[in-house]
Each structure stands twice: as C-alpha cells, then as structure tokens.
C-alpha cells in the first residue's frame, strides 16, 4: 500500500493531547533507560535538590539550582539527539561528523560548568558551616 504525502503526514500526527504526552514521557523514559549520561545527570539533579532541602536553601536558590540542572539535562538530550541522528545517517568516520559530535558534547560541558559554578555559589557557604559545626576535620587539613 502506497501512501500519499497527506496520509504519511497524518500517520505521524498525535490525535490528541493525551497521545502527545504519552509520546513525550516515552521519550524521557527512553533517554533515562538507554543513555548513561542522562541517568547520571538526573541522579545529580535529585541529589542537589535533596541537599538543597537538607541545607534549607531559599526558594530562589532552589529555583536557580533547578534551572541550572535543567539546562544541563536539556543540553544532554540535544547532544543525544544529534549523535543519534548522525549515527542514523552514517556509521563511517568523517572529520565533519566528528566535529559535529564534539561541538554537541562541548555544549553539554559548558552547561555542566555553568551548573557547577551556580551550585558552588548556592552550597559552599552552607556546607562549610555544617562542616565547622560537626567538629569533623578532614584528613587533608589535619596536618596543617
């Protein structure tokens, strides 16, 4: 059976909002189940949020942290899409393909650096206070 252009286009359309949401959640589930880096980013996100609640950061700081982590996750998803699309087109080595993949990975690295700087700004003062109040002195500071 040969489909014309309209039938082909309509076959990829979601008939309703529920169907669209189901496909979106399937995509998120796929990336978390099949891509290690996305899983790792998601776990760091959960850890950062829990640490934020434990250290009683403000709502604004929690929001900033959430935005930073979402930037990293979105960058990783886009990187994965680019890599998978390129792999779908060709499996052969090509210098331009390497550059495309390297640039996509570089975007993720920049997003992670941005997130780490914001995390440092949000957490470091509170971590030092908790550290001082605990009475535990790290081994590397014991010799000083």
47 half-sphere exposure, CB direction, 13 A CA radius: 8
Contact present, 123 and 91 (Cβ < 8 Å): no
> How far is it, in rounded angstroms, from Cα 31 to Cα 81?
10
Can you give the pLDDT at residue 34? 93
- Give pLDDT < 70 ranges for the chain: 1-12, 137-144
**What is the per-residue pLDDT across 84-118, written as a single tens digit (0 to 9) for each?**
999 999 888 899 999 999 999 999 999 999 999 99
Can you give the pLDDT at residue 10? 62
Task: List, in order of start, the domains of the chain with CATH numbers.
Answer: 29-133 (1.10.287.3610)
CB proximity list for 65: less than 8 A, separation 6 or greater: 48, 49, 52, 57, 118, 119, 122
């Amino acid at each position: 059976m040969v489909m014309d252009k309209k039938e082909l286009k309509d076959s990829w359309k979601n008939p309703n909002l529920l169907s669209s949401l189901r496909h979106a959640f399937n995509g998120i589930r796929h990336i978390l189940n099949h891509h290690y880096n996305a899983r790792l980013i998601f776990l760091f996100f959960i850890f950062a949020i829990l640490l934020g609640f434990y250290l009683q950061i403000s709502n604004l700081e929690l929001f900033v942290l959430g935005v930073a982590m979402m930037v990293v996750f979105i960058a990783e998803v886009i990187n994965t899409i680019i890599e998978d699309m390129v792999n779908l087109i060709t499996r052969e080595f090509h210098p331009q393909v390497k550059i495309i993949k390297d640039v996509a990975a570089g975007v993720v690295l920049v997003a992670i650096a941005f997130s780490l700087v914001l995390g440092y700004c949000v957490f470091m003062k509170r971590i030092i206070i908790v550290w001082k109040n605990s009475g535990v002195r790290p081994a590397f500071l014991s010799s000083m």
